[in-house]
Amino acid sequence: MTPSAPPDREGLEAVADLHLRTVLHQMAGEDATAHPDQTAAVRALVSGGERVLVVQATGWGKSAVYWAATSALRSLGRGPTLVVSPLLALMRNQVNAAVRGGLTAATINSTNLNDWDSIMSRVERGELDVLLVSPERLANPNFSRRMSPLIATAGLIVIDEAHCISDWGFDFRPDYQRLSKILIASPTTPVLATTATANSRVTDDVATQLGSTTLVLRGSLARSSLRLSVVPGLDGLERYAWIDEALSRIQGSGIVYVPTVSETTRLADYLQSRGHQVAAYSGQLDASARELVEDQLRDNLLKAVVATSALGMGYDKPDLSFCLHVGSPDSPVAYYQQVGRAGRAIEHAEAVLLPAETDDRLWEYFATASVPDPRSIERVTAALDGAREPLSVPRLAEITNIRKGRLEPLLKIMAVEDAVERVSDGWTSTGKTYVFDAVKWADIVEARRREATLMRQYAAGAGCLMEFLQQALDDHDNGPCGQCSVCTGDLPEPGRLVDPERVEAARIYLRGVDTVIEPRKLWPSGLGSGLRGRIVGASVGRALTYADTPGWKNVPHLIQGVDAPLPEEIIRGLVAVLGRWKERWEDRPVAVVAMPSRRHRSMIDDLATQIATIGRLPLLNPLECRGDAPGPDLSSSQKVDHLTSTLRLNPSVTIPGGPLLLVDDSYRSGWTMTVAASLLRGGGATAVLPLVVHQLP
């Protein structure tokens, strides 16, 4: 029998339309009909093998496009679809959605290592329609080699949350951009990129990366189900009290976004103490804990999740009824992405922003934190060029004197341009020179600062809030929404009038929370002093407050200010900390030691004197420092070498055997406290208990 000829373009479009209808009915019911752009996207992928960028609002149905295209392409005998997704929560939701669309799907990620072999075997046997992986997983050299056959034979490549591949985007990920270049290298494989959060510049950049013939389908980003509000002018304690009361009033369940990991646990613990069923969520939770929290929220077992932006892209709970922000994201695009979790399948959802006084400082940090430093690039290049073998990140940090937190993103940015390569044993040079584009990076920083200015205007209620977000996203289908707090003049309860009793409850709670200081355990390698291995130094310590904790909102200003004795209120607070802490001491301290300080000698000496007097303990000054303080940009090994050369014991002071309470004003890297404690232990102290006013992140 002569095989039938493959369908022509018209026939392929009919196949595309059929599978789109089928998938929509399976996912959304028999009454579901396709948007015109859904039809156009699936037809382009199936009949033309094109590259398509879909920029549409959250809840519009972008996932239906790639499931319908997959279903059609598989019916035509094409290979499986490879979906690259940036978050585990997103991948889990996508697997479930693919199954609802009549497809077989699986994900390979860090939580299912034992299943990898069986999943890859199913791919090789043609049993899977869809495989979802993360860009970070594909960045692993061994895994990438294993995936090469699938990439070469894929019927469709999907780059989800495609704004992540643009360094102009609010959530740029170098791993993602580098891998996108590999994934779209085949000119014959159809490629679909999707996002709900891209302004014109990001849209143009992503389309350019996909290719000059990319079909861009962009729709209105307005969300009629969201009622946007801004409640300005609240301080930290008032924001806690506002959230406490709001959770008692708002129906349904939702998300409370905060800017830092530490704030997730702090606010969640407070809300739990007030009787609310809430949980903390951040990227620092292990995968099983994140999945548990996601499921509990989805099943309405929690009133709210207090989360960083880690609970964002792709989390699917259609009836999420509120999204509250304690502090502002650094751009309207990021804010739109996060509030887009709410109101997807219900008529009304609240999205409320409580701006914070610390927003500007965080915005400036995020504007510049990911920008590579040319001098650091030169040091990394020299280190890798001179190495005989791949170098690990810790070893590179030692050689280049670049902190790990700065080094890792720098390596990923250099890898985008193929100047360096990650291999199984670390990083190596490819021999290609990384050319620092000063103009491009300056433009990116300026663009981020402009976005921060827009967010500042949004937080000030400079106009209709939904229209403002649409304009920031270059959505020209805009106009006053008629329902936000600026348009109506109404605020959700409790409005601007926060219950004073709730404010005081927040103050009492936060001042009663212990800030635990975990000691350094190992010396950094390569020290000139010869120190190595396990540290015999400080025990677990305590701080009065951490970062910008609202319970002690004046502390950061005082610690960064002039050298003067601290207010009596702070002394009493530290005494209360000692009162709670002493129950955990094996032995009571036998003396108080003041850390020698170049900036705050009077402050620390007065603090140590008062603590010693109240505790009826002798005050000792066995530590001396000379020379300048270590610079802020030194690596750990450089800091320790500097400290061991400038900090010493006074030979005229006898150190008693027993625990010592070591008092300082602040604690950041911990190396000053560690070196001082090591000297005191070497001088005869049986333990050193750090007590500081302010712990910094």
Condensed to tens digits (0 to 9), the pLDDT of residues 502-546 reads: 999 999 999 999 999 999 999 987 787 788 889 999 999 999 999
Distance of CA 379 to the CA centre of its chain: 27
Q: Is the pLDDT of residue 3 over 60?
A: no
Among 144-153, 305-314, 463-472, name the one with the lowest average pLDDT: 144-153
The Cα-based distances of 163 to 107, 135, 424 in angstroms read 22, 13, 29
Parallel, antiparallel, or unpaired: how do β-strands 591-594 and 420-423 relate?
Answer: unpaired
Per residue in 238-278, pLDDT tens?
999 999 999 999 999 999 999 889 999 999 999 999 999 99
For helices 374-385 and 404-416, the axis angle rounded to 10 degrees is 80
Per residue in 551-576, pLDDT tens?
998 999 999 999 999 999 999 999 99
Mean pLDDT of 28-34: 87
DSSP labels, 470-505: HHHTT--S----S-SHHHH----TTTT---HHHHHH
Distance (Å, whole) CA 80 – CA 154: 5
The DSSP symbol for 128 reads -
Q: Is the pLDDT of residue 624 over 90?
A: yes
- Greater confidence (413 vs 229) lies with 229
Paired tokens of 71: 């279903």
Q: What is the pLDDT of residue 180?
A: 65
In the chain, where are the structural domains located?
A: 9-218, 226-360+445-510, 373-435, 513-695
Global pTM? 0.81
Per residue in 650-681, pLDDT tens?
999 999 999 999 999 999 999 999 999 999 99
CATH code at 9-218: 3.40.50.300
Mean pLDDT of 116-122: 87
Assigned fold of 226-360+445-510:
Rossmann fold (3.40.50)
DSSP labels, 400-455: HT--HHHHHHHHHHHHHTTSEEEETTEEEE-SPPP---HHHHHHHHHHHHHHHHHH
- Greater confidence (631 vs 428) lies with 428
pLDDT band at 85 (very low <50, low <70, confident <90, very high): confident
Q: What is the pLDDT of residue 181?
A: 66
Mean pLDDT of 227-247: 95
Q: What is the pLDDT of residue 185?
A: 66
Cα–Cα nearest to 109, from 127, 135, 129 = 135
Q: Kind and range of the H or E element at 690? A: strand 687-695
Distance (Å, whole) CA 695 – CA 543: 6
Q: Is the pLDDT of residue 313 over 70?
A: no
Distance (Å, whole) CA 189 – CA 253: 42
Q: What is the pLDDT of residue 250?
A: 93
Q: What is the pLDDT of residue 340?
A: 84
**9-218 and 513-695 agree in CATH topology:** yes
Mean pLDDT of 377-387: 92
Q: What is the pLDDT of residue 88?
A: 64
Q: Is the pLDDT of residue 283 over 90?
A: no
Residues 6+ apart with CB under 8 A from 4: none
Q: What is the pLDDT of residue 210?
A: 87
**Which CATH code, of 2.20.25.650, 3.40.50.2020, 3.40.50.720, 3.30.1050.10, is assigned to 513-695?**
3.40.50.2020
Per residue in 161-211, pLDDT tens?
888 887 766 666 777 776 666 666 677 889 999 988 888 888 998 898 888
Residue 447: CB atoms within 10 A of its CB come to 17
pLDDT band at 479 (very low <50, low <70, confident <90, very high): confident
Top mean pLDDT of 25-39, 109-123, 394-408 is at: 25-39
Residues 6+ apart with CB under 8 A from 211: 51, 184
- 200 neighbors 474 (Cβ within 8 angstroms): yes
Q: What is the pLDDT of residue 139?
A: 66
Distance (Å, whole) CA 323 – CA 316: 13
Q: Is the pLDDT of residue 4 over 70?
A: no
Kindly report the average pLDDT of the chain as a whole number: 88
Q: Is the pLDDT of residue 220 over 90?
A: no
Residues 6+ apart with CB under 8 A from 202: 163, 166, 168, 169, 195, 333
Q: What is the pLDDT of residue 2?
A: 46
Cα–Cα nearest to 263, from 180, 183, 324 = 324
Cα–Cα nearest to 129, from 159, 85, 95, 90 = 95
Residue 14: CB atoms within 10 A of its CB come to 16
One-letter amino acid for residue 619 of the chain? L
Parallel, antiparallel, or unpaired: how do β-strands 349-354 and 226-230 relate?
Answer: parallel
Per residue in 392-451, pLDDT tens?
998 898 788 788 878 888 998 898 888 998 887 899 999 999 999 999 888 888 888 888
Distance of CA 643 to the CA centre of its chain: 33
Q: Quickly tell me which residue has 């030691």 as its tokens.
A: 593
- 88 neighbors 287 (Cβ within 8 angstroms): yes
Residue 2: CB atoms within 10 A of its CB come to 4
Per residue in 127-162, pLDDT tens?
999 998 877 777 666 777 777 778 888 899 998 888
Where are the extended beta strands (E) located within 245-402? Answer: 254-257, 278-281, 304-307, 322-326, 349-354
Distance (Å, whole) CA 41 – CA 190: 11
Which CATH architecture does the domain made up of 373-435 adopt? Orthogonal Bundle (1.10)
Beta bridge partners of 620: 593
Top mean pLDDT of 108-112, 213-217, 474-478 is at: 213-217
Q: What is the pLDDT of residue 251?
A: 93
Q: What is the pLDDT of residue 1?
A: 39
